[in-house]
Chains A and B, each alone.
Chain A
Amino acid sequence: MVNGSRTAPPPAAPAAPARIQVADLRLSYGDKEVIHGISFDVRANEILGVIGPAQSGKSSMLRCLNRTIEFVAGARVAGTVHVDGEDVSRTRDVHALRRKIGMVAPLPVGLPLTIYDNVAFAPRCAGLRDRAELDALVEHCLRQAALWDEVKDRLGSLGTALSGGQQQRLTIARALSHRPEVLCLDEFSIAIDPVTTMRIEDVLKELRREITIILVTNLTQQARRLADRTMFMLNGRIVELDRTDVVFSEQPGSRQTWDYVNGNFG
């Protein structure tokens, strides 16, 4: 416990290259603007925590990164998002972009396929056919999502028949299956028990060596445990983005941050 999960991990070096650059991002649903021009960078191999109350635009912001926002009728995006220097709105292959950015949604959607096929779905779409390779990948991803032991004997049963928490871990395994370079987790632990959550958090700390993680969470303590930097969003604006130890310190950059983090908001 001494140097365990309590202390914030060391901040990434300031020179770390930006993986994602968001510039003046605006998002409206119909006439209603919900994100009012936000700009931030996500650095390579960091965990960026995103906290903020409901309706502050966290999930919508994530959906702008891999352009799944396009599925929402009436959504309009302005401003630019660059992933590894490439403007996502001009990308030639949006499918490759979506494989590069893994996304775990707060309400898990198990595809109506077997557990195995759920995890093998994205690799197969990307063209992986080799059975042995798929087998290994499926097992690896399910282990990372702390689900393997529970489902290893019934990989052939329907993914939609799993419990809520298991389905959520299934979507985590699925998001890891296409070997993303950026992993976006939106409230991944809503339906997962604390012990399993801790196991997944350990995996995330491991993963940081290989990939970049954006962690949207309502559990401020989760951001405090995991994130290198933390972004506080409120009403479609960024109130503060700084090192996690600063955001959670007694003197963050904004009074609102302090209020939110300490639970006496509003």
Chain B
Amino acid sequence: MTAPAPAPRPQRSRLERLGESLLEGLIRLSGVSAIVFVLAIFFFVFREAAPVVFSRNFDLWKFLFSIEWYPTSASNVRYGTFALTVGSFAVTALAMAIAVPFGLGAAIYLSEFCGRRLRETLKIVIELLSAIPSVVWGFIALTVTSKLVVDATGAAVGVNVLNGGVVLALMSVPIIVSIGEDALKAVPDSYREAALALGATRWQVVYRVLLPAARNGLLAAVLLGVGRAVGETMAVLMATGHAVHIPGSLLDSVRTLTANIAAELGEAPVGSDHYRVLFLTGVLLFCITFAVNIVADLAIRGVRRRG
């Protein structure tokens, strides 16, 4: 009895192997390209701003911490962005104070407490909400909510921090809800069942198991909401009154960094100091969002280490 000749081991063709390494290279390229794009954007924005930074009569300290923004003054041009930065922070902070509790609450409700049919309906509505263009939000802010603000508070003008914060909150809530719901849904059902089997109530399951387990995703949801609020331009331009001014109360008008760039860039002559300072304002915005992301990243790591 002779053993049958062993069949040759199956081997992939050269073409297949080549295709695979090609694919791998492509994927690597698209991953690396993200870094390239970010660096490129930073580079080009900074290139436009650079001449003014290195000019003799530019004072970085004044740019950051002076509240005097008179870019077109005939006698004494001053570029202080502090009031704009404070305006951006004020509106964003108010928007987040409203949007984070609402958004996370809605995400928890959708993912844990609501029936299947209601959930599908709500998700469609929320997606519709996030599809509304920001100029439409600005229009609503200008014509609808500003009147409500005047009626409710008796403020002199309806376009102010409160109005802008409310509209920005409305714009960020859909993002927080949909990302937050995804994060909660990603927690395996086995955790829920194990916790319930130990006699936990549904609410105890949420705050003892799901929130800790989904914290990274929930933080990402909040951050994307913050990103939307900080970066939003058109709606805040229309909603906040556009006054360069450190707000003393929620009912004062403000101007944000983004709205300032949008409103003035068209009027500034290309290559002028004003034009370059506006680009520098863009660099400042870039740095702020970068800092927010770093802080959040560190926060997540810190939480993880303790956990």
Contacts and interface: CB of A to CB of B under 8 A. Distances in A.
A113 B212 contact: yes
Contacts of A95: 199-201
B307 interface: yes
A178 B204 CA distance: 15
Contacts, number: 63
A129 interface: no
B208 A125 contact: yes
A134 to B, nearest CB: 14
A95 B209 CA distance: 16
A178 B200 CA distance: 11
Interface stretch (A82-90, A98-106, A146-154): A98-106
A19 interface: no
Nearest to B210: A112
Chain B binding surface SS class: helix
A111 B199 contact: no
B195 A111 contact: yes
A112 B212 contact: yes
Interface string A51-88: 00000000000000010100100000000000000000
Contact of A71 (B196, B198, B201): B196
A121 B195 contact: yes
Contacts of B249: none
A126 interface: yes
B139 interface: no
A174 interface: yes
Secondary structure call for the A interface: helix
A99 B198 contact: yes
Contacts of B307: 114, 158
B198 A178 contact: yes
B208 A121 contact: yes
A124 interface: yes
A68 B193 contact: yes
Interface residues of B, number: 20
A122 B194 contact: no
A235 B24 CA distance: 51
A175 B197 CA distance: 9
A220 B31 CA distance: 55
B190 A109 contact: yes
B213 interface: yes
Contacts of B191: 109, 111-112
A96 interface: yes
B198 A122 contact: yes
A109 B200 contact: no
B198 A121 contact: yes
A51 to B, nearest CB: 23
Contacts of A158: 307
B193 A125 contact: no
Interface string A16-33: 000000000000000000
Nearest to A63: B197
Nearest to A98: B199
Contacts of A109: 190-191, 193-194
A103 B197 contact: yes
Contacts of A124: 208
B198 A174 contact: yes
B199 A96 contact: yes
B197 to A, nearest CB: 5
B199 A99 contact: yes
B193 A98 contact: no
Interface in B172-215: 187, 189-201, 204, 208-209, 212-213
Interface of A: 66, 68, 71, 95-99, 103, 105, 107, 109, 111-114, 121-122, 124-126, 158, 171, 174-175, 177-178
24 contacts: A68-B193, A68-B197, A71-B189, A71-B192, A71-B196, A95-B200, A96-B199, A103-B197, A105-B194, A105-B197, A107-B190, A109-B190, A109-B193, A111-B194, A111-B209, A112-B187, A112-B191, A113-B208, A113-B209, A121-B208, A125-B198, A125-B204, A175-B198, A177-B198
Given A98-B197, A98-B199, A109-B191, 11 more contacts: A66-B197, A68-B196, A68-B197, A95-B200, A99-B198, A105-B197, A112-B213, A113-B212, A114-B307, A121-B209, A122-B198
